Amino acid sequence: MESGQWTEDIKKALENNDQALAVKRIQEYLDQQNNIPLNVAITGETNSGKSTFVNAFRGINNGDEGAAPTGPVETTSEATPYPHPNYPNVTLWDLPAIGTPNFPADNYLKLIGFERFDFFIIISATRFRENDVKLAQEIQRMGKKFYFVRSKIDTDIHDEERRQRSKFNAERCLEQIKKNCIQGLQRQGVESPQVFLVSSFDLHLYDFTLLGDTFEGELPAHKKHALLLAMSNISLEVIDKKKKAFHAQIKYYAMLSAGVAAAPVPGLSVAVDLGLLVSVVIKYVNGFGLDKPSLRRLPDRRGMPFRYLINIIVSPLAATEITRDLVLKVLLRCAGTAALMAAEEVSRFTPVIRTTAAMSLSLIFTYRALNTFLNRLAEDAQRVFKRVLGLDIV
């Protein structure tokens, strides 16, 4: 069901004063939005950097638990799924190299199970070859998207700088690499090819942001949402997009809270509100990469002690276990929140207006609380991003 249809069903239920149906529809909508499956196929020749790309995209270092194995020889013998650590509905598939004895080019898509993938990323560390082109053309013929990614750009830049020394120009070098890839693909019959230059060790550099923008422009809205939340914080713009995506759902959580508040059971709404807030805050923390495992992996890449990141985090909800007690403690520190919680419960004992008042107060309370939590966690994500890249050092 499309988002608009969900909204219409929720609106009708509320207009008919059917709180139970409204709560059911809201919960179904949120469950659907937060569990959209996305399967991304990563393919390319041996030693092209496929597995490292799979790990980097998921925010995992090579060698970590759950990482795709890497090495100078082909380490992928079958299509292997690697779920995102915080979003298991998003899976990157490390595919065997095309054109090997077990995966000949002519039967490649059938052997890997083409139908299960939403789109393909074709990776090369040098130039794209005949098998890559055949694969792209067949994917296109079957109505799915593919993207050419030229990997290991950091290595190319380093080698070229050592070779040219004082004559080296990074921008010119990147332009030449991309031009060579595009011309090579055109000679093999690919019309208007797009090539994205990427370093799996520095996703914020080169074309990865452009690649993400291209996904955003070409994927269906629901798939785009799943990909955005699973994507690493490669730029301040991505963090802001995540914030906007989370903010768009707050009204539904607020309506869900209001629907529960209609039940005239003292203490029920506050108890449900706290449970709801805990579950949503966990989504915010994971989406912004502010959970401890994600934060610990960042210093591993940059050589920065973990404590340096912890010291700049302001929100007490980041880098810790999210519990009802912690959320309640943070709420009580927020101006006006405690008063709203108390007023909501008191309103239940006023027979005539208790339902309407409790619903209104619960909606306002949940909306304000989630908005406050989201703003503070987004600010922390921005601080961490700047610190890791040294952008906050004057």
Q: Tell me: the pLDDT tens digits for 303-353? A: 678 888 899 999 999 999 999 999 988 988 875 555 455 445 544 445 444
Looking at the fold, whether 80 and 205 belong to one and the same domain comes out as: yes
Cross-strand pairs, 81: 93
Element (H, E) at 147: strand 145-150
Looking at the fold, whether 155 and 265 belong to one and the same domain comes out as: no
Q: Which strand ranges, in their side-by-side order, compose the sheet holding 195-197?
A: 80-83, 90-94, 38-44, 119-124, 145-150, 195-197
Looking at the fold, whether 190 and 285 belong to one and the same domain comes out as: no
Domain boundary among 166, 197, 230: 230
* Interatomic CA distance for residues 130 and 133, integer angstroms: 5
> At residue 51, what is the residue type?
S
Please report whether residue 263 resides in a domain. Answer: yes
Tokens of 312: 């700049």
User: Which pLDDT does position 275 carry in this prediction?
Assistant: 87
pLDDT tens across 156-212, in order? 999 999 999 989 999 999 999 999 999 999 999 998 999 999 999 999 999 999 999
Buried b or exposed e, range 139-164, using 16+ CB within 10 angstroms: beeeebebbbbbbbbbebbeebeeee
Looking at the fold, whether 177 and 84 belong to one and the same domain comes out as: yes
Looking at the fold, whether 225 and 250 belong to one and the same domain comes out as: no
* Cβ-contact 345, 266 below 8 angstroms: yes
Looking at the fold, whether 219 and 351 belong to one and the same domain comes out as: no
Domain span at residue 277?
A: 234-389
Specify the residue for token string 């209001």.
258
Is 70 exceeded by the pLDDT of residue 266? no
Looking at the fold, whether 156 and 251 belong to one and the same domain comes out as: no
Looking at the fold, whether 189 and 243 belong to one and the same domain comes out as: no
Please report whether residue 108 resides in a domain. Answer: yes
Domain boundary among 178, 205, 230: 230
Please report whether residue 266 resides in a domain. Answer: yes
Please report whether residue 148 resides in a domain. Answer: yes
pLDDT tens across 90-139, in order? 999 999 988 888 888 889 999 999 999 999 999 999 999 999 999 999 99
Residues across the chain: 394
CATH of the domain at 134: 3.40.50.300
Looking at the fold, whether 83 and 188 belong to one and the same domain comes out as: yes
Domain boundary among 175, 197, 230: 230
Please report whether residue 31 resides in a domain. Answer: no
Task: Report the domain count for the chain.
Answer: 2
